[in-house]
Amino acid sequence: MKVLFIGDIIGEPGRKMVKKEMPGLVKTYQPDLIIANGENAAGGFGITPDIADELFFMGIDILTSGNHVWDKKEIEPYLEKQERLLRPANYPSGNPGFGSTIFSTATGDKAAVLNLEGRVFMSTLDDPFRIADSEIEKLKQQTPVVIVDFHAEATSEKIALAWHLDGKASAVIGTHTHVQTADERILTNGTAFMTDVGMTGPTDSVIGVKKEQAIARFRYQTPHRFEIPKGPVRLCAVLVAIDEKTGKADSISRIQIS
């Protein structure tokens, strides 16, 4: 099974890039499952029902998210009914939405997708390690293939979770920091890992926002409105090949299109 995971989609530029490149990605890599992180797809902060539907129409099978999934309040009723748009599973119970889902590919094979959020330099949520264990135990009753989007700030936390899940998850793919890392590998017991898949958004920016606004925020430490710049766009993704019988990863490779 081939899984294509597209990095954090940033606003309209990111959405247009996905639409433009999707036919070529499908033709070149022939993925069985396409996942993308969409929490920044609406103006750089959050996602709306219309934008989620737009991304599904482009060919994305599952959308994951993170801390910004709550930014647009109109998304909450949509989260309640749309199992293909995930929010991190370790938010406290009572929040709307689904933290994991099972997807059936065109060949009839099933794959589970689990969304988690880190706690280092982020909100104090439920323990992602414990939640990962309990969720994966349930998901593996239906399929050995489990892909985890770990939306976290600290590289150490991402690496630690990957080693914790080595042999339990098929892949642990990091999101949130918007910078593609060069550490893709297969861990000892067959789990594919990459600290951060990167973003699909403006190249000449500071993780997706106008350079000048980000610089002013760092220099003066006062609130500044963040906007998405125009100009060149880069698509970052990762391709993971997984043995659908064992759930172990065979390969993982970076993709970057400018």
Catalytic residues: 68
CA distances from 26 to 58, 73, 96, 121 (A): 11, 33, 32, 36
Which DSSP state fits 153? S
Backbone angles phi, psi at 118, to 5 degrees: -75, 170
Tell me how far CA of residue 114 lies from CA of 22, 47, 85, 100, 166, in angstroms: 23, 19, 11, 4, 15
DSSP per residue, 41-61: TTTTS---HHHHHHHHHTT--
Q: How far apart are CA 151 and CA 124, in angstroms?
A: 14
- DSSP bridge pairs for 127: none
